[in-house]
Structure 1
Amino acid sequence: MNTQIKTESIEKHQIHKVLIPKQEIKTGPIMAALLVAGFVGLFSETALNIALGDLSQIFHVNATTIQWLATAYFLTLGILVPVTGILMQKFTTRQMFITAVTLFIIGTILAAAASVFSFLLLGRIIQAAGLAITLPLTQNVIFTISPPNKRGAAMGVMGLVMLAGPALGPTLAGLILDTLSWHWIFWVTVPFLLFSLIFGLVYLPNVNEIRKVSIDAISVILSTIGFGGIVYGVSVSGDLGWISSTVIGCIVIGFASLILFAIRQTKMETPMLNLKAFHYPQFVLGIVMSFITFFNMLSMLVILPMYMQMALLIAAFTTGLILLPGSLLNCISAPTIGRLFDKYGPKAIITPGTILVAIGYVFYTQFDLDKALWMVVITHIVMMLGIGAVLANVQTNTLNSLPRQYYPDGIALTQTIQQVAGAVGIAVMVSIFSAKENSYLVDIANESTQAAAAGSSLVFTISLVLAVLNAVLSLFIKKPNSLHAVI
């Protein structure tokens, strides 16, 4: 006990307070600066996907190579997001924000002006590095400047951004491709990034606590190999196959590195990621639910357009328009859902949300070649409303369960899990879709549209099982002890 008191006393002396008086914090402009940057990053995560076919021909590379424009984005996020937990303790809020947006601007301009594939890929990696800092930083600022009884509303607004970015990406990119060249998918975001940078420079204060921490090189290496190995392994599984020695080797090495990483963190006096966050049951429950939610959501955003384009033979831009109502309604309702979370608590909002998601997948599993487009629109609306009730609110409740000193670590852990879940979800579900499609073509009939419908149905059935599991897990959600969330 004496040792613990002594350690806490030393830590207090190591902390440099950089908080400014509460009345000087202008929440609106701060949120605008952070969320605009986050929207651009998440928009960029999916916007280029619709142009991959054209880019493959423009740069004269095959499908496997061009896919790296998406894979490298997730891979960079999976590698860098864990490191931000300690970076947010070592550097000020403004230093982190300026670095993130500057990286984003550099990466965006480099990608927009790229004349060869390697420059475009490098631009995407630099973009992802900016987003890897922006997402955890935004959550940390929200939880620092918002009192516990208003975090749901604030995270609801962030949830709007988290869903609107990837959901609107293909639609807006399709419109750009119909009227301009692919370069403008990047150029149109530059003014928004400049707006974010200017607002951040003017309004964003240093709201974090700076500690005298050092970055452990071995931990960084283990984290990079661990998360990077898993994301890379599942990302290339669709091309190489799940029994490929490369795929198995990367995944095994990745998990082994993460085990060594976790062991090292428990033995370090100042760990890179404080895994004590896992001592809180509600945090663990939230991590599992977040993984399932992101696994299902991001894979659905890939498989559903594939179903519409390959089975229903709908054009890419039309596909984006069909998905637009659900995305827009989700954006409009997100802040209201956040306020309801603050008023009624987590279970009253999250459990109905998980049920709506499960209902959406029940309808998805029934989709065939004769499905009316209005039914696709209605089902997508139900699905997105459910996801909107689950996504940000699960994150809010997960982080509310932690004491304040664990926020940077908890945020880094949740953001890492989400990005890994997205990468794994897309890779696994696309692989299952392709396997079922090929099996149908060989064993049943050489009908490509029916094969695509069969592949989609199998994927949606698996997602339904996961959605039902999430609904069951939501029954165990509790409102955390308010003492943990006191600022």
Structure 2
Amino acid sequence: MTQPNTASIPVNGTGVDPKAMRVIWLLLVAAFVAILNETTMGIAIPHLNVDLGIPPELGQWMTSAFMLSMAVIIPVTGFLLQRFTTRQVFIAAMSLFSLGTLICLVAPGFTVLLTGRVVQALGTGIMMPLLMTTMMNVVPPRSRGRMMGRVGLVISLAPAIGPTLSGFILETLSWRWLFAIILPIALVSLGLGIRWMTNLGETRHMPIDVLSIVLSGVAFGSIVFGLSQLGTAGDAEAVAVGGMSPVALGGILLAFGLVMLALFVWCQIVLQRNDRALLDLRVMKSRNFTIAVIIMAVISMMMFGTLTLLPLYLQDVVGLDAMMSGVILLPGAVMMGLLGPFMGRIYDARGPRVLLVPGTVIVASALLFYSSVSQHTPWPVLMAVQTVMSVGMAMCFTPLFSASLGSLPRHLYSHGSATLNTLQQVGGATGVAILIGLYSGILHTGEAAGLSAAEAGAPGIRLAFLCAAGLALVPLTLSFFVRRPADSEEAEAPVAQPETN
């Protein structure tokens, strides 16, 4: 067992040991590169649909499968972060991500490309809980909002800037360059990690429950795939399976997934009695943590659903090219990233509600506006609304990360970050499936009636965003109940320091 060094901490601006800060910065850079891929496919999907000869419902799995794979691997990280060292987990995560990027780069068709995206996602899914758990272990409570603002920068800016980067690349190059540009950066990050990464915290030997892994994968996979099938209700070309309509198949898969999820939860409750759970659900006993992760899951549904649906609307309905679609999303992406650390300082000084309440109001208002757009809505208006919505998102992420994990005892940090990231990714994948499904169903129905893509797609866009605006009422209401963790929950316990080997 590797024991942490709990000696006095050399003080800097954040009260964190300089060696630990180097690890944090390395994790931040690696996580940014990995998460950037999560939304690069949004604008690329129309190109892939044409180049690979696949329908929109299949193409959107470039995004959904990525998020779903993350949701499958993230619950395992609660175990991994206790069983293996920081260095081992980091190298494994970046190796998987680099391998997946290489597979995507050389993929001859859709199946291999999708496989590469899944391998990428496995590495990305490990990275975020590793970053957040490390942050909670080495940063004193008085500085967590400030530091979590940097995590918020990664989680918000990276996926938001993905469509913009993708748009610029696709305007002049092929979709393979999306991976050719990322691969060398990933390999450099891996090399730096091998050279500089040190171990933080302690490890302990514990068996892994294979049944829990199987139940987790089957449950989340069935739920998201079932939702995507339900979204093909209006597709006249949807292929029935075994004489069963896609809607019927989707309903069965969704119900089956919920049953498997219930079994997974029951299995974890039993295993956690002996501290053997793959995902320790005792984190949900904290009311503050539970409320915060529910808000995070719903906001992720809206964020990833919007970042996937908006490029389709801009290209298919408004008639803009991929580069212009990326330009429209760029100001919001930059604003969201720049505001992360600033929001962290406000959290440290004033607590979560001063940010969360107005932030959720802004997000709900932006989605409500999107529910009234048409093919004639001016693009500068769309850019302004997306920028305002991004500000609202920035006001939500930092207080949610800090207040949720800060409400847990130290020994549950890894399971708390795994739970938070799992629900975030499942929420995102569900949001993409629901919004794309609603849009695609109405689009196909309109086209079958003889309408153009723009005329048929506009009603679908409005309905999808109206549903998102309705969902936004959930975080808006719950934001009033999130509080700053009490001093007893954020005790100034000795923080883990890097080993000196």
Letter in 1 for 2:480: L
| 1:267 counterpart = 2:273 | no
Q: Which residue of structure 2 aligns with residue 290 of structure 1?
A: 296
Letter in 2 for 1:149: R
- The 3 A distance-change label for structure 1 pair 180 and 71 is same
Equivalences for 1:141-220 in 2 at 5 Å?
141-220=134-213
Query: 2 CA distance for matches of 1:96 and 1:72?
Result: 22
Residue among 245, 248, 251 paired with 1:248: 251
The answer on whether the counterparts of 1:36 and 1:193 sit within 8 Å (CA) in structure 2 is no
The answer on whether the counterparts of 1:85 and 1:412 sit within 8 Å (CA) in structure 2 is yes
Q: CA deviation at 1:65?
A: 4.5
The answer on whether the counterparts of 1:89 and 1:210 sit within 8 Å (CA) in structure 2 is yes
> SS at 2:214's partner residue?
helix
The answer on whether the counterparts of 2:442 and 2:460 sit within 8 Å (CA) in structure 1 is yes
Letter in 1 for 2:438: I
Q: CA deviation at 1:259?
A: 1.2
Q: Which residue of structure 2 aligns with residue 17 of structure 1?
A: 3
| 1:416 counterpart = 2:402 | no
> SS at 2:319's partner residue?
coil
Equivalences for 1:330-349 in 2 at 5 Å?
330-349=336-355
CA deviation map 1:160-195 (0-9, x unaligned): 111222211121112112233322211111232233
The answer on whether the counterparts of 1:32 and 1:196 sit within 8 Å (CA) in structure 2 is no
Residue among 475, 488, 499 paired with 1:470: 475
The answer on whether the counterparts of 2:42 and 2:307 sit within 8 Å (CA) in structure 1 is no
CA deviation map 1:237-282 (0-9, x unaligned): 3347796343222222221112112112222212221111111111
- The 3 A distance-change label for structure 1 pair 367 and 65 is closer
Residue among 313, 324, 327 paired with 1:321: 327
Q: TM-score, normalising length from structure 1? A: 0.91
- The 3 A distance-change label for structure 1 pair 224 and 157 is same
- The 3 A distance-change label for structure 1 pair 250 and 20 is farther
Query: 1 CA distance for matches of 2:392 and 2:58?
Result: 35
Query: 2 CA distance for matches of 1:346 and 1:84?
Result: 27
Q: Which residue of structure 1 aligns with residue 44 of structure 2?
A: 51
- The 3 A distance-change label for structure 1 pair 252 and 352 is same
| 1:221 counterpart = 2:224 | no
Q: Which residue of structure 2 aligns with residue 485 of structure 1?
A: 490
> SS at 1:484's partner residue?
coil
Q: Which runs of 5+ in 1 are unaligned?
A: 1-14
Choose between structure 1 and 2: higher helix proportion. 1
Query: 1 CA distance for matches of 2:253 and 2:231?
Result: 14
The answer on whether the counterparts of 2:152 and 2:394 sit within 8 Å (CA) in structure 1 is yes
RMSD between aligned alpha carbons?
2.3
Query: 1 CA distance for matches of 2:94 and 2:304?
Result: 24
Residue among 406, 423, 430 paired with 2:436: 430
CA deviation map 1:102-137 (0-9, x unaligned): 111111122212234443232212111100110111
The answer on whether the counterparts of 2:231 and 2:441 sit within 8 Å (CA) in structure 1 is no
Query: 2 CA distance for matches of 1:61 and 1:384?
Result: 31
Aligned sequence identity (%)? 33
User: Number of residue pairs matched?
Assistant: 472
> SS at 1:209's partner residue?
coil
- The 3 A distance-change label for structure 1 pair 352 and 34 is same
Letter in 2 for 1:262: V
Query: 1 CA distance for matches of 2:186 and 2:174?
Result: 20
The answer on whether the counterparts of 1:104 and 1:126 sit within 8 Å (CA) in structure 2 is yes
Larger relative contact order (C-alpha < 8 A, sep ≥ 6)? Answer: 2
Q: Which residue of structure 1 aligns with residue 462 of structure 2?
A: 457
Q: CA deviation at 1:284?
A: 1.0
Letter in 2 for 1:139: M
Q: Which residue of structure 1 aligns with residue 379 of structure 2?
A: 373
Q: Which runs of 5+ in 2 are unaligned?
A: 11-16, 235-244, 494-501
Q: Which residue of structure 2 aligns with residue 83 of structure 1?
A: 76
Query: 2 CA distance for matches of 1:330 and 1:386?
Result: 8
Q: Which residue of structure 2 aligns with residue 3 of structure 1?
A: none
Q: Which residue of structure 2 aligns with residue 106 of structure 1?
A: 99
Query: 2 CA distance for matches of 1:449 and 1:60?
Result: 21
CA deviation map 1:197-252 (0-9, x unaligned): 23333443221321221101122221221122212222343347796343222222
